């Protein structure tokens, strides 16, 4: 038997620990070299852990949801093993957690297809022990009747429901919907006033921490202006087909917003600055953070040297960021730094908001939905596609004059896009 250890990859210097998400393989499964075994979540990114060698998993040392550090042992692979053979218990460490976990560990080592109903998966076994649930008291909905973490969470929440209405026939009640659900299913999921307690992901906890830090340390003020988007929309309509054919990507509005922001930051450098103690740090580069929603929460990847990027470069990079965010593949280096941020709530239909500064930056632009509105021009009421822009800024170093004029510069650039070509 030749054993190879699987360890947690190196983390960022600012990250001390991470959380194991969900094993993609179980004990007894064969793996190929570089096959992804599990994802590791830090407070910034999700890292993939590949198999260092081909073979068979003989031990999983750390179960789903475990807190781990860099280089910590999490599994072992037998490079000479045979898939499906009965191997060692899933994890020796979990045997000491509780009697329920100890009973579940050997069963998890049984090859696929031979597990008995009621066997708890490692994460589920630990959760049962934490909530003092006896082995066999939770019905499983997983493969071969195995008890999953979701089954245990449902069982823990079940007593709250029983107090109000009779227990449903299905032992494992569905979890509360985290995203929009069809109306036909929603009523069933919400029947009986259920509750569900779910721990924050590391990313969401970190975002919460930074937002509170921003509000407690910055003197945040927001200024607004209205933008006539007709010139940009007309230009985009004229160039869309040729642009997409030439560059292989659609011409969106975000590239215009980024260009307009850089245009304003060049005119008013303090908007691109940051505070370090009692010093103001002026940055001679323009790294623009683009707020992106993802299944894990809000992430802000950075467009490096945005002033040197073309419209096509910006659109391609934003599309890449969006895909990586959805797949949880954004790297730590892609979300580090930044001198100014843009948050486009308009993609979700937002009319107006007051964005929170992303520290250590000193300003952020909030873009909203473009809607036809009645406007007065030369004494006449006309309909124009208008967008409300909001710029929040740190009043400790940015005065109202710079903030207002900076936003006006963005307005003028978007209402006359030729300014972006000539930098005027």
Catalytic sites, residue numbers: 395, 399
Q: Which long-range contacts (CB under 8 A, 24 or more apart) does 270-273 make?
A: 270/362, 270/397, 270/398, 270/402, 271/340, 271/362, 271/363, 271/393, 271/398, 271/402, 271/403, 271/406, 272/339, 272/340, 272/363, 273/339, 273/362, 273/397
Helix locations, 138-225, DSSP H:
149-162, 183-190, 202-217
What is the phi/psi pair of residue 178, to 5°? -95, -15
What tokens does 349 get? 């239909």
Q: Which residues pair with 391 in a beta bridge?
A: 223, 365
**Does residue 188 sit in helix, strand or coil?**
helix
CA distance 44 to 72: 19
Query: Could you tell me how far CA 68 lies from the centroid of its own chain?
Result: 20
**Dihedral Cα 386, 420, 258, 235, nearest 10 deg:** 50
CA distance 40 to 46: 6
CA distance 320 to 287: 16
CA distance 47 to 100: 31
What is the phi/psi pair of residue 394, to 5°? -85, 110
3-state secondary structure 363-412: EEEEECCCEEEEEEECCEEEEEEEEEEEEEEECCCCCHHHHHHHHHHHHH
The CA-based angle 302-40-100, given to 5 degrees, is 150
What tokens does 263 get? 């245009």
Which residue in 8, 4, 63, 58 sits closest to 30, CA to CA? 58
Transcribe 280-311 into DSSP letters.
EE--SS--EEE-EEETTEEE--EETTGGG--H
């Amino acid at each position: 038997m030749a054993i190879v250890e699987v360890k947690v990859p190196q983390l960022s210097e600012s990250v001390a620990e991470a959380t194991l998400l969900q094993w993609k393989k179980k004990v007894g499964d064969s793996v190929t070299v570089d096959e992804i075994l599990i994802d590791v979540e830090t407070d910034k990114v999700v890292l993939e852990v590949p198999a260092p060698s081909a073979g068979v998993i003989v031990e999983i040392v750390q179960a789903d949801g475990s807190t781990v550090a860099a280089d910590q042992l999490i599994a072992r692979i037998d490079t000479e093993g045979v898939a499906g053979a009965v191997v060692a218990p899933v994890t020796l460490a979990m045997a000491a957690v509780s009697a329920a976990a100890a009973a579940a560990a050997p069963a998890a080592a049984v090859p696929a297809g031979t597990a008995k109903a009621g066997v708890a998966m490692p994460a589920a076994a630990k959760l049962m022990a934490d909530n003092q649930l006896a082995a066999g008291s939770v019905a499983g909905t997983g493969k071969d009747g195995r008890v999953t973490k979701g089954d245990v969470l449902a069982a823990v929440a079940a007593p709250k429901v029983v107090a109000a209405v009779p227990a449903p026939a299905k032992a494992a009640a569905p979890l509360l919907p985290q995203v929009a659900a069809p109306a036909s299913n929603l009523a069933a999921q919400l029947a009986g006033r259920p509750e569900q307690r779910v721990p924050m992901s590391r990313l969401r906890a970190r975002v919460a921490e930074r937002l509170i830090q921003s509000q407690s340390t910055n003197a945040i003020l927001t200024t607004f202006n209205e933008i006539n988007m007709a010139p940009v929309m007309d230009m985009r309509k004229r160039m869309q087909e040729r642009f997409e054919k030439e560059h292989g990507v659609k011409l969106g509005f975000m590239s215009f917003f980024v260009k307009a922001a850089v245009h304003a930051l060049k005119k008013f450098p303090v908007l691109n600055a940051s505070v370090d103690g009692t010093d103001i740090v002026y940055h001679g580069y323009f790294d623009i953070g683009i707020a992106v929603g993802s299944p894990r929460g809000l992430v802000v990847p950075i467009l490096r040297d945005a002033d040197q990027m073309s419209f096509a470069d910006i659109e391609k990079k934003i599309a890449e960021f969006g895909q990586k965010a959805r797949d949880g593949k954004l790297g730590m280096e892609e979300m580090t730094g930044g001198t100014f941020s843009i948050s486009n709530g308009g993609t979700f239909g937002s009319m107006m908001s007051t964005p929170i500064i992303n520290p250590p930056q000193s300003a952020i632009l909030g873009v909203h939905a473009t809607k036809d509105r009645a406007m007065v021009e030369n004494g006449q009421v006309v309909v124009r596609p208008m967008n409300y822009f909001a710029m929040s800024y740190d009043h400790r170093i940015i005065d109202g004059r710079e903030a207002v004029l900076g936003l006006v510069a963005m307005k003028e650039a978007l209402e006359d896009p030729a300014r972006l070509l000539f930098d005027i």
